[in-house]
A and B are shown apart, each in its own frame.
Chain A
Amino acid sequence: MNSGNNGFLLEGRLITPIITKKTHFKIHGCKAMIQNPRRRYYTKIQTAKPMYPYSFICYLGKLTLEYRHESLQNLKHKLITLLQLTHLGKLQGEGLGEIQWTRISFQNKPTDSRVKIKTPKLRIRKGLPLKLSIEQQELLKYALLHDFFHTSKHQSKIYQEPPLTDQSLVKRLQQHHEKTNDPLIRKFQYYDRLAASITRKIRSPVISRYNWQAKRTLQKINFIKLAKNIQEVTNTNIWNLYRYIYESKELKLLNESMNHGHTTLHNHLIVIANLIVQDFERFSAQRKTRTQSN
């Protein structure tokens, strides 16, 4: 791709507009940019279909292509392939994207030594890792069940509380929005906010708990049955509970919150669980390196 000290800059003039949404894009692995862009809208009508005409965004202007590589032979091959092009972009058959190449100028500059900072990506797992301590299992269990219980802020998001036998856990779950000194609840609240900051970027209020996807398919959920199923699964172990939530189609049809309707309840629960697991793995890796160095 674009790396190395040697490179060339190819310039051309767009005779007919090229269909792109942005003025910066890529052609054959080269950085392309439209200078002095003039926006046009290309409308299209299909006479056979009874539908409204739709339009494409397209641009006119001066097009520049930048390519960098260390070997001169590679530069030559790339230049030959680019000079053979006569049209670019979509709808070439209708005569759009016609280009006339005008100029080449060579560049011999050192590449930037700056390295882009890579932000860690959240990897969503199909199942939980096999080795988990009792504390970790407790936290994950708390995180996966927290939205199914009534609190001072909101009702259960599936309207029904799963009938758990462990009453101390139920009390703790009902307090997950309150200020307490309980270390488990405090730890959970950190992850809950972190997951919300990832998923809740746009505010989109909704009227019903059902998702737009559920409305389209006219599906309805049996909430009493769902609560019973969750209770049965929690009695077995944490791995089964995660697997059940991961595979459940019903939780995908519910909104996560009434103010942020674009995320699902399924997504919210799984993001929290994966954030917790990611942190476990990181700390365990750090500990290993420390012990080896000592």
Chain B
Amino acid sequence: MAKSVSRSSLKSESLLGILDDVQIAIDSKILKVKVFTSICKPLNGAIPGSNQAHFLKLWTFPYKYKYGKEYKESSATAYFIKGLRGALRHQVMYHCKERGLEVCHTSDKETDRKGKSLLPNGFHLIGSCTESNECIVHAVFGSKRHTSKIRVSANPIANISQKTFQSKYKLQNVHIATEKRVALSYDGGAIQDFGERYFAGEFEFEIDVSKCSLAELGLLIESAMYMQKLGRGYNAGYAQLEVQSLTLVDRIMTRKPILGDNQEFKIEEQISETPLSQEFLNSIAEWTKYVKKSQESPK
């Protein structure tokens, strides 16, 4: 054996045989949605001691970029995009209502304490359809004690001005800045002002639809096409989305342990994707059939 091998690793020689044939392949069906926003504020809240409302901060990371013939180093911060699943759910709800289907609303109460109605027409209370006939929104998104079928996620966003940047993390480069707003003013001077972070540019999010049926997939595709808003301030002109492209992909992720230095195993990930264009069209056709059938014989 080599001299660099430590005593503890020599003892574990018998254990190394376990990993000879370990290779894991995770198969999943993913719907990719590419979106553009002029200004978007999916904020997490204010940090104590500051007037600004921030995104959910993940981590700072180093990156390299090309400056002439040399490489220079710098750092940036990555943020999490919140509220994607909620925005999709609201879009799906109102899309079903337009087609004449009665589906679950997000609220579990009809009225509040003062008697103000919380449940609009054309919806029923969340989870009330589980015993009789489960609606399609409940089947996809679930409710309390009913797990949902889908998983909505996006790679973290960061603001890097250099176009030739290189980093080992998966990122989406967008423009991030703060908007200063004045709530009260007296004689031209601001009394109470606050800031809100926003981002702008193209970004992509993914919906894991491997558990969904064809009709459910069709519903998600059609409602994602008409997705309009994300984050706060829609009525004031913020948070407007423009959907650019939709692609359905079969993704196979393989994980395999590979022997590295000092008898330690590193786990290598590889991702391969194949487009599913025929299934994309079939699912929309299946969804239109489902709508016609439910309109003819309402539940």
Contacts and interface: CB of A to CB of B under 8 A. Distances in A.
A262 interface: no
A94 B84 contact: yes
Contact of B44 (A43, A46, A50, A108): A43
Interface stretch (A80-88, A172-180, A224-232): A80-88
B5 interface: no
Interface stretch (B144-152, B174-182, B278-286): B144-152
B112 to A, nearest CB: 6
Contacts of A92: 151
Nearest to B153: A95
Interface secondary structure of B, over-half rule = mixed
Contacts of A16: 58, 80, 153, 156
Interface string B52-66: 000011110000000
B156 A48 contact: no
A38 interface: yes
Interface string A71-86: 0100110011001101
B105 interface: yes
Contacts of A55: 45
A108 B267 contact: no
Given A60-B58, A95-B154, A108-B11, A48 B107 contact: yes
Interface in B140-197: 148, 150-154, 156
Given A72-B18, A75-B18, A93 B152 contact: yes
A235 B123 CA distance: 63
Interface string B10-22: 0110111111001
7 contacts: A72-B15, A76-B18, A95-B154, A101-B267, A103-B267, A105-B264, A108-B15
A98 to B, nearest CB: 7
Contacts of A106: 9, 12, 15-16
B255 A83 contact: yes
Interface string A90-119: 001111001011111111100000000000
B45 A48 contact: no
A80 B56 CA distance: 32
Given A42-B56, A87-B151, 4 more contacts: A15-B58, A49-B109, A79-B22, A84-B24
A103 B264 contact: yes
A47 interface: yes
A187 interface: no
Interface residues on B, range: 35 or more
B134 interface: no
A40 B57 contact: yes
A25 interface: no
Interface in B34-64: 44-45, 56-59
B273 interface: no
B22 A41 contact: no
Interface residues on A, range: 35 or more
Contact of A93 (B8, B85, B105, B257): B85
Interface of A: 6, 8, 15-17, 38, 40-43, 46-50, 53, 55, 60, 72, 75-76, 79-80, 83-84, 86-87, 92-95, 98, 100-108
A69 to B, nearest CB: 11
Contacts of B73: none
A93 B207 CA distance: 9
Nearest to A100: B269
Contacts of B105: 48
A50 B80 CA distance: 26
Contact of A46 (B14, B24, B82, B106): B106
A95 B151 contact: yes
Contact of A60 (B45, B59, B84, B257): B59
A106 B8 CA distance: 9
A207 B255 CA distance: 63
A75 B16 CA distance: 11
Given A72-B18, A83-B267, A108-B8, A53 B45 contact: yes
Nearest to A55: B45
Interface in B215-265: 253, 255, 257, 264-265
Contacts of A41: 44-45
B101 to A, nearest CB: 19
B26 interface: yes
A15 B156 contact: yes
A40 B57 CA distance: 8
Nearest to A107: B12
Nearest to B59: A60
B129 interface: no
A93 B148 contact: yes
